[in-house]
């Protein structure tokens, strides 16, 4: 049998590297965190007043699609809304012009999601 070699033992830590930080923690001033005013980049866009949800198959190779029209969103907002709604629905989709298009028949689920996003009137047709 081969002779067993003893492995060196793990070094022991004799000092706490966070001890100096604990002393400085007491010197940190207490108070409310600073309030940041929303800037143009972080301001939330006002939700559209109206949306029309409609189902279609014509012109899509027999595939079902649900289209949201008349939102009146900018191109960037439409992309953001589409991405977030796709995630909530768990389906594919995209932006076609000013419309949001989602795969499958989503007419039952979309009105609730749109109202949660601030759309005041949702028409399903």
4-39: pLDDT as tens digits: 666 666 656 567 777 777 778 777 777 766 665 555
The alpha carbon of 85 is separated from its chain's Cα centroid by a whole number of angstroms, namely 9
> Residue 43 pLDDT > 50, yes or no?
no
Q: How open is the CA angle 118-55-108, to the nearest 5 degrees?
A: 55
So what's the pLDDT on residue 35?
Answer: 63
| Residue 1 belongs to a domain | no
Quick check: is 95 in a domain?
yes
Which range among 29-43, 48-62, 79-93 shows the weakest confidence by mean pLDDT?
A: 29-43
Confidence (pLDDT) at 83: 94
Residue 73, domain CATH: 3.30.780.10
Q: What's the confidence (pLDDT) of residue 34? A: 63
- Domain of residue 112: give its range: 50-124
Average pLDDT, the chain: 81
Confidence (pLDDT) at 68: 93
Determine contact, residues 103/92, Cβ cutoff 8 Å: yes
What pLDDT is attached to residue 17? 73
Q: What is the pLDDT of residue 59?
A: 84
Per-residue model confidence (pLDDT) at position 42: 44
Answer yes or no: is 112 within a domain.
Answer: yes
CA-closest candidate to residue 84, choices 120, 38, 118: 118
**Residue 56 resides in a domain:** yes
Assess if residue 65 is contained within a domain. Answer: yes
- Indicate the pTM of the whole model: 0.61
- Residue 96 has a pLDDT of 93
Q: Would residue 7 count as lying in a domain?
A: no
What is the number of structural domains in the chain? 1
Going by pLDDT thresholds of 50, 70 and 90, the confidence category of residue 61 is confident
Give a yes or no: residue 104 inside a domain.
yes
């Amino acid at each position: 049998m081969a002779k067993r070699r003893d492995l060196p033992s793990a070094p022991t830590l004799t000092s706490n590297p966070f001890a100096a930080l604990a002393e400085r923690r007491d010197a940190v001033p207490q108070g409310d965190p600073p309030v940041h005013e929303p800037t143009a980049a972080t301001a939330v866009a006002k939700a559209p007043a109206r949306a029309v949800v409609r189902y279609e198959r014509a012109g899509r190779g027999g595939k079902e699609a649900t289209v949201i029209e008349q939102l009146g969103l900018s191109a960037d907002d439409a992309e953001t809304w589409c991405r977030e709604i796709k995630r909530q629905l768990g389906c594919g989709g995209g932006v076609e012009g000013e419309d949001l298009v989602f795969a499958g028949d989503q007419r039952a689920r979309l009105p609730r999601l749109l109202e949660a996003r601030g759309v005041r009137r949702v028409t399903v047709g």
